[in-house]
Chain A
């Protein structure tokens, strides 16, 4: 037990304390005055909330999460329904839907970068089938870059999340559903009225990991947009990287880390509480 505890303390618990304290100090490596930390109370936080750049990161995050997560959940659930019952080629279909999970996100993003390239990128050609007039470089367009990022995340994660819904569906008591069907519940009513309440636990769990995942990975931002154009696709972890490693602003980096961790904790704890209340 001791070794595990040691590593958890050194790389989770102590860092937590470190950023909590560090966030209260002005500390910038590239400005002589602040090379030694100076106590600033909540100064880093109030500065951040006055900084249009940070506000844009917040807005980006809001849009990213609000667009990506519902679409991911619906897509994953839909795929789980499609992949639940026996069908010719089912193993192959499951592999096709699930395989992006295993690919490194940087590789995936490199491939998608090519997709988005105007002219010979496949993406515009695909959209043209639906009447889109392209060519358009999604990654270089301020109003589309964030959606390009979200699209990659969708493709990468939908199969992974599908897996949990699929497990939920396969553990359902089939007789219950047959009974509901005999009572005349069918189609959408069967799904919303009977099945969804039964897999509520999975839904909460999937929401939690989709949410944490959305904050945890920004590899595609590094490859595809570097947060641009003009900050329109900067997500929290990427912003954190910029603050710490480009601008050498340790104090603000700590403050952003603190907010990030509290956002994640708040979400996880709320969801756990909800699911436990339903258990009782």
Chain B
């Protein structure tokens, strides 16, 4: 479509909008790198006299961010790993086999896409308590082990594969698990990437569920750790320090995003959920 708006006008408008959108992150980055002894003042909110990593060092000394990292990574890896396996199996079953009630069962799984797990916070909390998994990493991860979205997306991908190919593999003596791995999953790489990346960003950023299901620093992930950090009494309004903590939580995923931008965007489009 040829826009009536000239490219130059578009360029200027977009430059202004992009600057506005980027201000928070750019600003937090700049604030985190100020030397702590240079106070924030009107007209001098962006840069201090020199760059310094002192805020980062202090943030790491005040709260166990390394522990939080490990917790977030363990939780995310566990969720993604199990999700991919359970979803592959389910999608394979729903693609390859016909059985009584298969449609009803598929509908039950899809129900999860309409009822966000976030809304089931209260009953899931009771379940995890009942299973004696309160304040453990498995307790954070367990409710997300079955993913309707991943099952749905993989099934769509599997269905688009010619049936003959799978039949040929079966005739060649492939066992069902070989068929799943070599025929179906090997052609579903981009769907798998979409699942992994959208799940990664959802669970890296998830806050409310980890907040209620953890109480100790030993299992708390980055997001819950950050909020606890901001509410620590001795932090007060030390914005340089707070910005450093924010960057510690934010930057790794942001870097992954910039590197895998295309795959991320594809993942988001196919998911429609964060």
**Which residues of A are interface residues toward B (Cβ below 8 A)?**
1-16, 18-19, 22, 79, 81-85, 87-89, 92-93, 95-108, 110-115, 117, 119-120, 122, 125, 155, 159-160, 163-164, 167, 169, 172, 174, 177, 181, 186-187, 205, 209, 212-213, 215-219, 222-223, 237, 240-241, 244-245, 250, 253-254, 257, 260-261, 264-265, 268-269
Contact = CB atoms under 8 A, between A and B. Distances in A.
17 contacts: A6-B146, A15-B127, A79-B17, A87-B14, A99-B25, A101-B268, A103-B25, A104-B249, A105-B205, A119-B42, A164-B272, A169-B1, A240-B121, A241-B208, A244-B125, A257-B119, A268-B114
B254 A13 contact: no
Contact of A177 (B1, B13, B117): B1
A110 B246 contact: yes
A240 B121 CA distance: 9
Given A95-B261, A106-B207, A111-B25, A117 B237 contact: yes
Q: How large is the interface on B (under 10, 10 to 19, 20 to 34, 35 or more residues)?
A: 35 or more
B265 interface: yes
A222 B42 contact: no
B28 to A, nearest CB: 5
Contacts, number: 258
A81 B14 CA distance: 11
A1 B108 contact: no
Contacts of B100: none
A152 B25 CA distance: 13
Contacts of B171: none
A19 B93 contact: no
A16 B27 CA distance: 43
A180 B94 CA distance: 45
B184 to A, nearest CB: 14
A22 B126 CA distance: 12
Q: Which of B13, B117, B148, B274 has the most CB of A within 10 A?
A: B274
A5 B94 CA distance: 12
Contact of A254 (B122, B146, B250): B122
B120 A15 contact: yes
Interface string B101-133: 000010011011011111111111111000000
B21 A97 contact: yes
Given A12-B112, A104-B207, A160-B274, 15 more contacts: A3-B90, A3-B146, A4-B89, A4-B146, A4-B147, A15-B124, A79-B17, A85-B3, A100-B25, A106-B226, A114-B242, A164-B272, A222-B208, A223-B230, A240-B122
B257 interface: yes
The 8 closest A-B pairs by CB, nearest first: A7-B146, A15-B123, A96-B18, A1-B93, A4-B90, A104-B205, A11-B143, A4-B146
A244 B127 CA distance: 14
B4 A101 contact: no
Contacts of B146: 3-8, 11
Contacts of B94: 1
Contacts of A237: 118-119, 121, 208
A109 to B, nearest CB: 9
Contacts of A218: 208
Contacts of A12: 111-112, 115, 117, 120
B258 A88 contact: no
Interface of B: 1-4, 7, 10-11, 13-15, 17-19, 21-25, 27-28, 31, 40-42, 45, 85-87, 89-90, 92-94, 105, 108-109, 111-112, 114-127, 142-148, 151, 201, 204-205, 207-208, 211-212, 222-223, 226-227, 230, 237, 239, 242-243, 245-246, 249-250, 253-254, 257-258, 261, 264-265, 268-269, 272-274
Contact of B127 (A11, A125, A177): A11
A269 to B, nearest CB: 8
Contact of B126 (A18, A217, A223): A18
Q: Which of A18, A103, A113 has the most CB of B within 10 A?
A: A103
Contacts of B1: 84-85, 169, 172, 174, 177
